[in-house]
């Protein structure tokens, strides 16, 4: 399975994402730069975490307007799988590829810790290798992960099963509405999540709870 | 031409930064401070002279970049 990783100035989790995709898919992902207007023919595009453009204006706001994101949007519209982690999630909501917004953590503090996630919908292309309701561990590291959507949008995404990951066991680190940690778009091929599954994929990480997400998205057997 | 754009959070959107400022003001002994909401101000210089076009452009700038209309409102003021 071929993948590509989007690179933008200020991202700092790109190497982790490249390592995870290389180890799980068996081949190194292509990389695309912010000014690229075309993305090679791949099955999965990943937008890593970090602080693109120094989080100026709003987290992800500047990155979302870069040429490469128009290319990502075109690929997403054609059904290519897209994953945005952390800043990548913020970029996807700013680009309008996912509903809602990510605001400053309710505590106003940067949080860097491990949380528990519930698989709120195991019937997506990103979670099919998990069990419904399964609780997994995942690291988080962010300052602006407080998911917000207006009442109408919230009712819609909850009703349509677009909430895929939820902070579980009172580990919501940021005040996200309905404990939302990750959502998919209405077509189900674009995922954004604040936690970092790419940082928990092998024994050296202390566990491989995040591995099944990439196996699901890449269509690889568990 | 000079313009000022003010971006504020919509009603009903939680503003933890505004809340922290509100508490800090109370802590400084300012009585009678109700709710505080934090926003942003952009001062934009424009080279054109057509005020109507400027207003339309500024609104487009807000919609496309300066404000996230999911959570924010904006107001455009041309000096």
Structural contact between residues B74 and B7, judged by C-beta atoms closer than 8 angstroms? yes
Q: CB-based contact (8 Å) between B68 and chain A?
A: yes
* B57-75 residue pLDDT tens: 999 999 999 999 999 999 9
What phi, psi does A165 have (nearest 5°)?
-125, 135
Label residue A221 by pLDDT band (50, 70, 90).
Answer: confident
Mean pLDDT confidence for A138-161? 97
Compute the mean pLDDT over every residue in chain A, rounded to the nearest whole number.
Answer: 97
Structural contact between residues A86 and A196, judged by C-beta atoms closer than 8 angstroms? yes
Q: Which of A92, A107, A115, A95 is nearest to B14 (CA)?
A: A107
Q: State which residue of chain B sits closest to A146, comparing Cα positions.
A: B14
**Which residue of A94, A101, A103 to mutate against B (max B Cβ within 10 Å)?**
A103
pLDDT of residue A68: 98
pLDDT above 90 (res B14)? no
pLDDT of residue B79: 86
Q: Which residues of chain B lie closer than 8 angstroms to A148, CB-CB? A: 13-14, 70-71
Q: Which of A59, A86, A94, A118 is the catalytic position?
A: A86
Would you tell me which residues 9-48 of chain B have a C-beta closer than 8 angstroms to some C-beta of chain A? Answer: 12-14, 16-17, 20
pLDDT above 80 (res A222)? no
Is there a catalytic annotation at residue A142?
no
**Which residue of A104, A149, A156 to mutate against B (max B Cβ within 10 Å)?**
A104
pTM of the model: 0.94
Collapsed DSSP state (helix, strand, coil) of residue A57:
coil
Which residues, in sequence order, are bridge partners of residue B42? B5
* A29-83 residue pLDDT tens: 999 999 999 999 999 999 999 999 999 999 999 999 999 999 999 999 999 999 9
Does A175 contact B14 at a Cβ distance shorter than 8 Å? yes
């Amino acid at each position: 399975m071929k993948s590509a990783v989007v690179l933008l100035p200020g991202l700092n989790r790109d190497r982790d994402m490249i390592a995870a995709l290389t180890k799980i898919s068996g081949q190194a992902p292509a990389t695309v730069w912010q000014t690229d207007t075309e993305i090679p023919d791949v099955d999965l595009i990943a937008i890593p975490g970090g602080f693109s453009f120094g989080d100026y204006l709003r987290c992800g706001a500047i990155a979302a307007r870069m040429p490469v994101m128009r290319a990502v949007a075109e690929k997403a519209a054609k059904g290519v799988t897209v994953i945005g982690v952390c800043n990548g999630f913020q970029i996807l909501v700013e680009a309008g590829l996912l509903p809602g917004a990510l605001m400053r953590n309710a505590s106003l503090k940067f949080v860097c810790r491990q949380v528990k996630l519930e698989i709120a919908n195991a019937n997506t292309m990103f979670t099919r290798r998990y069990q419904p309701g399964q609780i997994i561990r995942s690291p988080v590291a962010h300052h602006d992960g407080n998911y917000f959507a207006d009442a109408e949008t919230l009712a819609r995404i909850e009703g349509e099963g677009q909430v895929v990951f939820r902070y579980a066991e009172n580990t919501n680190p940021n005040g996200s509405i309905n404990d939302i940690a990750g959502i998919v778009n209405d077509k189900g091929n674009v995922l954004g999540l604040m936690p970092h599954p790419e940082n928990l994929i092998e024994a050296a990480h202390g566990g491989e709870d995040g591995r099944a997400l990439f196996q699901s998205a890449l269509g690889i057997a568990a | 031409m000079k313009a000022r754009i003010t971006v504020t959070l919509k009603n009903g959107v939680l503003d933890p930064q505004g809340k922290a400022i509100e508490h800090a003001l109370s802590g400084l002994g300012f009585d009678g401070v109700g709710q505080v909401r934090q926003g942003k101000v952009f001062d934009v210089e424009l080279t054109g002279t057509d005020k109507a076009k400027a207003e339309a452009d500024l609104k487009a700038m807000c919609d496309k970049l300066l404000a996230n209309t999911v959570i924010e409102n904006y107001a455009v003021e041309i000096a």
